[in-house]
Structure formats: C-alpha cells, structure tokens
C-alpha cells in the first residue's frame, strides 16, 4: 500500500526472544539433572517441533527473507553452559547465516545450575535483582559466549522478562551495547527504579 503524501511511514522493529525453557520438575530452582539434554525443548523452541508444519527458526528466517524483512533475534546464551555450546552455535549460525541481527538476551534463571561456573550466584529470575558488579559480569559473559558461538557486532540487548533497571543500562553502556529493548511499562518487573513510567 503506498504511503499517503505528507505522512511518515510507520517504523516497526521485529524482534524475537530466542531461548529455551526446560520442562524439568522444579526448574529453575532445582537445576537440571546432569544427563538432561532437553531434546523435546530443543525441537520445540528452536526448530519448530515435530509436526508437519514446523514454525521454528528455519520457518521464521525463510519468511523474513521471502519478504525482504530484517529482525533482531535476542539470543540467551546462558543455556549453552548447561546444554552445550554446539546447540548455541547452531542457533547463532542459522540466524547469522540468514543475514539477521543477533542481540543479547539474559535469563538469570540458568544461574541455579552449578555448570554456570564463574558467574554470580542466583539472586532471582530478574536482572534487576543483581547489583552493578553482577550485572556487568553477566553482560560481559553473555557477549563472550555469543562471540565464541560466532555472533559479532552485538549492539542491542533485552533482559529476560524485561527485568532490567537503570543499573542495567550502565552495565550495557560499559560493555559497548548501544540499544536496550527491555522497557515494558505494563509490567512492574521492568525498570522498577524509573520514577515516571507514564511516558
């Protein structure tokens, strides 16, 4: 549809949170059993399930390409510390190979797992439940893991469950991330330290 003269086009950002949620009993407060590989979750969350009409990453990426659209895939890398780097490499490779953007996404729930070594202790599922030092460490670790998986030039971030705060913005700026997509004014989990949420 042509744009009417004098009217600016509507600009829309297409974003996809790219993550995996184990169905294991008690997770995340109970870590995954060491032998758990989450095969069904891998298929469902990334590759579209087991049915004939699969709607995972391949379908999304093909659809975007067919229509000449760009999207940002906010990828949570922390799962790879428990489920293995090869899976993250496949996810990153599929997105980057299709010419789409990769952003950093963080779900601190994974920190309950002892395999998340050298990272802050679990303090809650929301990023704003962590102090400045811990948030900075998580952001740097996430960027490093994504880089090792083949992602490059990451400039955007979204906190899991939108659970960021102003401390998060400072941690992102220190790590060279210019754009944050964590603000959701409709949930109190998002930026609880903002004095005015009406804008």
- Token pair 């895939």 in the structure block, residue: 73
- Count of CA atoms in the C-beta half-sphere (13 A) of 35: 0
* Overall average pLDDT of the 8-13 stretch: 85
Question: Model confidence over 51-98: pLDDT tens digits?
Answer: 667 789 999 999 999 999 999 999 999 999 999 999 999 999 999 999
Distance between CA atoms of residues 135 and 118, nearest Å: 13
Which pLDDT tens digit goes with each residue over 175-195? 999 999 999 988 999 999 998
Torsion of CA 48, 15, 169, 120, to 10 degrees: 0
DSSP for 124-137 reads -SSGGGS-HHHHHH
In which band, very low, low, confident or very high, does the pLDDT at 199 lie, cut at 50, 70 and 90? Answer: low
What strands, in cross-sheet order, belong to the sheet with 72-75? Answer: 15-18, 72-75, 101-106, 156-159, 179-180
Determine, yes or no, domain membership for 46.
no
- pLDDT of amino acid 48: 87
Mean pLDDT across the chain, nearest whole number?
Answer: 93
* Count: domains in the chain: 1
Q: What gap in Å lies between CA 120 and CA 134, rounded to an integer?
A: 6
Q: Which domain, by its residues, includes 83? A: 72-180
Looking at residue 129, which CATH number applies to its domain? 3.20.20.370
In a domain, 159, yes or no: yes
In the structure, what pLDDT confidence band is assigned to residue 138 with cuts at 50, 70 and 90?
Answer: very high
Question: What integer pLDDT is reported at residue 54 of this predicted model?
Answer: 74
Task: Please name every residue paired with 156 in a beta bridge, in sequence order, or none if there are none.
Answer: 179
Altogether, the residues listed in the chain come to a count of 199
How buried is 87 (Cβ within 10 angstroms: 0-12 exposed, 13-18 middle, 19+ buried)?
Answer: middle
Paired strand residues for 17? 74
Q: With b meaning 16 or more CB within 10 Å and e meaning fewer, what string describes 7-31? A: eeeeeeeebbebbbebeeeebbeeb
Position 26 pLDDT exceeds 60: yes
Q: Is residue 47 part of a domain?
A: no
Of 144, 181, 159, nearest to 19 by C-alpha is: 159
Does residue 146 form part of some domain? Answer: yes
């Amino acid at each position: 549809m042509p744009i009417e003269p004098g009217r600016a086009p509507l600009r829309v950002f297409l974003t996809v949170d790219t993550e995996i949620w184990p169905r294991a009993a008690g997770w995340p407060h109970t870590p995954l059993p060491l032998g758990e590989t989450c095969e069904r979750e891998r298929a469902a969350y990334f590759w579209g399930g087991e049915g004939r009409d699969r709607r995972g990453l391949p379908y999304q990426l093909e659809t975007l390409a067919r229509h000449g659209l760009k999207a940002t895939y906010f990828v949570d890398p922390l799962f790879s510390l428990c489920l293995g780097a090869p899976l993250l490499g496949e996810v990153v490779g599929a997105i980057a190979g299709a010419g789409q953007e990769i952003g950093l996404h963080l779900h601190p729930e994974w920190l309950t797992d002892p395999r998340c070594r050298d990272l802050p202790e679990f303090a809650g599922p929301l990023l704003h439940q962590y102090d400045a030092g811990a948030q900075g460490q998580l952001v740097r670790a996430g960027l490093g893991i994504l880089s090792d998986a083949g992602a490059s030039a990451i400039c955007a971030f979204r906190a899991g469950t939108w659970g960021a705060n102003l401390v998060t913005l400072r941690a992102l700026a220190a790590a060279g991330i210019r754009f944050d997509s964590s603000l959701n004014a409709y949930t109190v989990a998002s930026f609880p330290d903002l004095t005015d949420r009406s804008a």
